[in-house]
């Protein structure tokens, strides 16, 4: 599998695991079988070396399960996110004030059972908080050594450039997939800057039927449309780091295998 150096030094394979789906239904509460979720994570450590979670998944459940399953002896980078709350009604609520972020990082450290987070990402800009204040608070925690690398999520190019005035940005995590390309400008900026781009919803939540030619390319390779969608993301730019989520070891193995699926230039162009 091809690799990418997050922050120029943290080497990871270019397909990781998104750990949002190991929680309960609608990303709330405990999964039906917590031990099965931990086993999935332990098996994931055999196939990938990047696992992405967030404090709002559960809330807190995904991080705790990752902390229970992935230890210091596992050669796995753990990325998490803070600054987006989840209430009992399932609403996502931005919360980017510095005091909240500082406390959120401490809570994530505890749940992940670590003293330093490999990659911590501001989950989303808070429209009620000065964006620079949010970034500066996390930059200070990076200076303190509790965050190794700092990332952003759900930002535009202007916000990315503003953050880069204050801190080295290692990754950006925005929605992007073969069926949704509205964040192309951010991806291209990341490529220009050598910043990792983590596309969330890399499989469009399974809704790939609208992509013309995708099924034909899959048939030509004897592969699934999901595998081709991941292979397309890898071919789209050398900085993309897809993190498909799954609750199934079988699907995990299939997702990782997509790294070995080589699309021709014509096929990549056809799916553009």
Q: Which of 192, 116, 130, 188 is nearest to 163 (CA)?
A: 130
Are the CB atoms for 151 and 170 separated by under 8 Å?
yes
What is the percent of the chain where pLDDT is above 90?
A: 83
> Please, which residues bridge with residue 151 across strands?
121, 171
Alpha-carbon distances, residue 108 vs 80, 120, 164, 173 (angstroms): 8, 9, 24, 18
Q: What is the largest CA-CA distance in the chain?
A: 53
pLDDT of 209 above 80: no
The 8-class DSSP code of residue 264 comes to P
Mean pLDDT in the chain?
94
Mean pLDDT for 157-162 is: 98
What's the rounded mean pLDDT across residues 137-144? 98
pLDDT in tens, 18-67: 999 999 999 999 999 999 999 999 999 999 999 999 999 999 999 999 99
Report CA torsion sign: 167, 133, 81, 94: negative
Strands (E), 47-154: 50-52, 77-82, 84-86, 92-94, 117-122, 147-153
- Nearest partner of 230 among 11, 47, 16, judged by Cα: 16
* CB-based contact 89:59 (threshold 8 Å): no
* Mean pLDDT, rounded, for 225-240: 94
Which has the minimum average pLDDT: 146-155, 173-182, 245-254? 245-254
Are 83 and 94 in contact by the 8 Å Cβ rule? The answer is: yes
| Cβ–Cβ < 8 Å for 120, 144 | no
Residue-range domain boundaries for the chain:
3-207+238-246
CA distances from 170 to 27, 66, 104, 122, 211 (A): 26, 22, 20, 12, 31
Superfamily of domain 3-207+238-246: NADP-dependent oxidoreductase domain (3.20.20.100)
- 119, 77 Cβ separation under 8 angstroms: yes
Q: Which of 57, 120, 176, 201 is catalytic?
A: 57
Does 201 participate in catalysis according to the annotation? Answer: no
Q: Can you give the pTM of this predicted structure?
A: 0.96
Question: Residue 266 carries which DSSP code?
Answer: H
d(CA 156, CA 135): 14
């Amino acid at each position: 599998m091809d690799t990418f150096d997050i922050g120029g030094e943290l080497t990871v394979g270019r397909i990781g695991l998104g750990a949002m789906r190991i929680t309960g239904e609608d990303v709330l509460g405990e999964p039906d079988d917590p031990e099965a979720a931990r086993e999935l994570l332990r098996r994931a450590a055999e196939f990938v070396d990047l696992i992405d979670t967030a404090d709002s998944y559960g809330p807190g459940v995904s991080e705790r399960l990752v902390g229970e399953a992935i230890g210091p002896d596992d050669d796995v980078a753990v990325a998490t996110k803070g600054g987006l709350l989840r209430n009992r009604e399932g609403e996502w609520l931005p919360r980017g004030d510095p005091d909240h972020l500082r406390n959120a990082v401490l809570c994530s450290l505890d749940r992940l059972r670590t003293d330093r987070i490999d990659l911590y990402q501001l989950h989303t800009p808070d429209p009620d908080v000065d964006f620079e204040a949010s970034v500066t608070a996390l930059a200070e925690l990076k200076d303190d050594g509790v965050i190794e690398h700092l990332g952003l999520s759900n930002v535009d190019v202007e916000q990315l450039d503003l953050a880069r005035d204050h801190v080295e940005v290692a990754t950006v995590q925005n929605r992007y997939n073969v069926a949704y390309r509205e964040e192309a400008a951010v991806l291209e900026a990341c490529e220009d800057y050598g910043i990792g781009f983590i596309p969330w919803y890399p499989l469009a939540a399974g809704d790939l039927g609208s992509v013309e030619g995708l099924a034909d390319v899959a048939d030509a390779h004897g592969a699934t449309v999901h595998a081709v969608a991941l292979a397309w993301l890898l071919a789209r730019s050398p900085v993309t780091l897809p993190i498909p989520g799954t609750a199934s070891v079988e699907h995990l193995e299939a997702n990782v295998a997509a790294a070995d699926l080589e699309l021709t230039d014509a096929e990549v162009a056809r799916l553009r």
